[in-house]
Structure formats: C-alpha cells, structure tokens
Amino acid sequence: MINIAVFASGTGSNFDAIFSKVESGELEANIALLVCDRIGAPVIEKAQKHEIDTVVYRAKSFSDKAAYEQAVLEDCRQRGIEFIVLAGYMRLIGPTLLKPYERRIVNIHPSLLPAFPGKDAIGQALEKKVKVTGVTVHFVDDGMDTGPIIAQEAIDIEETDTADDVKDKIQTVEHRLYPQVIQSLFIKEESQ
C-alpha cells in the first residue's frame, strides 16, 4: 500500500472524497499525513477525527520558502511518504519538494487548464461567460497550474447557473475523478 500525504489549506472537501475512497478500498493507499498551512482550517479537524497525522506550518514562521519546505519534507520522509496529493493547497511548490517527489505530486484544479489558472478559476470562467469549464488533474511543476495534464473532464455552465451552482458541479466531478486518477497512477507506477 502506498503512503500518501494530502496537502490542504481549507475545508477539505477533496480530502473527504479521497479518505472515503481509501476507506472503501477503491483507492489503495494509506493517508499517512495531512500537511496544512492554515491554523484553524476545517480540514485539520477532519484529519484528526480519522486519526491521521497532521502538521500545520505557517510559512511566515520560517526564514524562507526553502526552510518551510525542508520542514515539510522531513515530515514526509519520517512517514515514508511516496506520493503527495494537493487538495486545495494554496501554495506553490518549490524545488525543495519538487526534486525528491518529481512526477509524484498531483494537483486538481477547477478549470480546463490551461484556461483560468490560479485563484478563483470559477469566477474567471463566469466573468468570461464561457459555456464550458471543468476539472483538470495535473502533475505539479514549478509554475502555477502549468504541470503536465493527466486528466480533464468538462461541465456545462447554464445561463442561470450561479457561482455556487458551478462550484457544486465542479466538486461533484472532482470528488469522483481525483481518486480515480490517483489510483490509476498507482497502478501505472506498479506496472513499470
């Protein structure tokens, strides 16, 4: 079984979806660590409820990004983390983590990249009045939502859809697609 770390900053809806698939056996992994960068984020309580090791680091508490990532890397190494899953983690990953986990860090983004990278992708899509947006799962590189795309799925935006409607559609896809893609990556890695 592969040890994974989930990195999250917020409510943890994708964390919940991943945990649920691990519990059901659909995702053959062990969530060995939650890394969070926001004190009091709801995802922390969710992880602790499931007795998942949790570390909370504020980047401002470190001298620089490399020192922050070095502390996170040590936590990952201590727990034998083989794969990192970003689930609403609102920080760019730097070389301190990218090098040891090359092509073993994935992210999910609420748009059909390369359209609408970065924050508030749903708001960007609504502002541009696009009729289709979606979800992208990609490997993480040193850019913002620029890593190689692994999977995408589109959703339609109806004229009457509010931002909350679009968010609900996006999250429905995310919660199904992300665990499936992660599992497929594990299978692919094992067969090599």
Strand partners, 1: none
Q: 30 among the known binding-site residues?
A: no
State yes or no: is 175 an active-site residue. Answer: no
Strand partners, 155: 133
| Cα within 13 Å of Cα(88), Cβ side | 21
Cβ–Cβ < 8 Å for 113, 138? yes
Q: 111 among the known binding-site residues?
A: no
Q: 123 among the known binding-site residues?
A: no
Q: 93 among the known binding-site residues?
A: yes
| Cα within 13 Å of Cα(28), Cβ side | 9
Q: Between 13-24 and 42-49, two packed helices, what is the crossing angle to 10 degrees?
A: 20
Q: 84 among the known binding-site residues?
A: no
Q: 12 among the known binding-site residues?
A: yes
Q: 107 among the known binding-site residues?
A: yes
Catalytic residue among 50, 109, 138, 175: 109
Q: Which residues carry a binding-site annotation?
A: 12-14, 65, 90-93, 107
Task: Write out the catalytic residue numbers.
Answer: 109
Q: Which residues carry a binding-site annotation for (6R)-10-formyltetrahydrofolate?
A: 65, 90-93, 107
